[in-house]
């Protein structure tokens, strides 16, 4: 299979998702020219706001491959990843992202993630969602334990 075939599959997944009551997004993860995992948006189907196509595909790929590290993989997604999905792609160490629609296309149909990108640029105290540091000293114990741990698996 070629790049075009992988993107066509992601697009097909997005169309099938709409037919099945999900959002219009699909994603395919590929390693060495083979599809490792694929998924579509299931936010409303599963009542899970994190069930975006990319995150769901990452979960399937890591389970199938038995690792949290997807280096050597590429992701083909029907739309530019939102901030959550982009973060997940970085944490999974996926090598490259291919996307069809961009975030402006998504905004035109009601999926506008720009407000999240804007919020990320602000200091926490200026964001629309109130947040404050609370019990920082107590929480640092776990960080200290991590730093002292000799047999930790770093990621």
What are the catalytic residues?
A: 54
Mutual angle of helices 3-19 and 53-65, in 10-degree steps: 120
What's the CA gap between 118 and 115, in Å, rounded? 5
Rg (CA), the chain: 18
3-state DSSP assignment of residue 51: coil
**CA 110, 14, 115 angle in degrees (round to 5)?**
30
If 0-12 CB within 10 Å is exposed, 13-18 middle and 19+ buried, where does residue 12 land?
middle
């Amino acid at each position: 299979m070629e790049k075009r075939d992988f993107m066509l599959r992601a697009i097909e997944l997005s169309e099938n998702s709409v037919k099945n009551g999900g959002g219009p997004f699909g994603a395919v993860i590929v390693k060495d020219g083979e599809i490792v995992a694929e998924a579509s948006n299931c936010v409303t189907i599963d009542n899970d706001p994190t069930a975006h196509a990319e995150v769901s595909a990452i979960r399937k790929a890591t389970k199938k491959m038995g690792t949290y590290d997807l280096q050597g993989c590429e992701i083909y997604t029907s739309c530019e990843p939102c901030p959550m999905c982009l973060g997940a792609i970085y944490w999974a160490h996926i090598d490259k992202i291919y996307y069809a629609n961009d975030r402006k296309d998504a905004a035109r149909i009601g999926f506008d993630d720009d407000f999240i990108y804007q919020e990320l640029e602000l200091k926490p105290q200026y964001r629309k969602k109130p947040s404050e540091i609370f019990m920082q000293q107590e929480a640092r114990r776990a960080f200290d334990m991590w730093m002292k741990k000799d047999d930790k698996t770093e990621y």
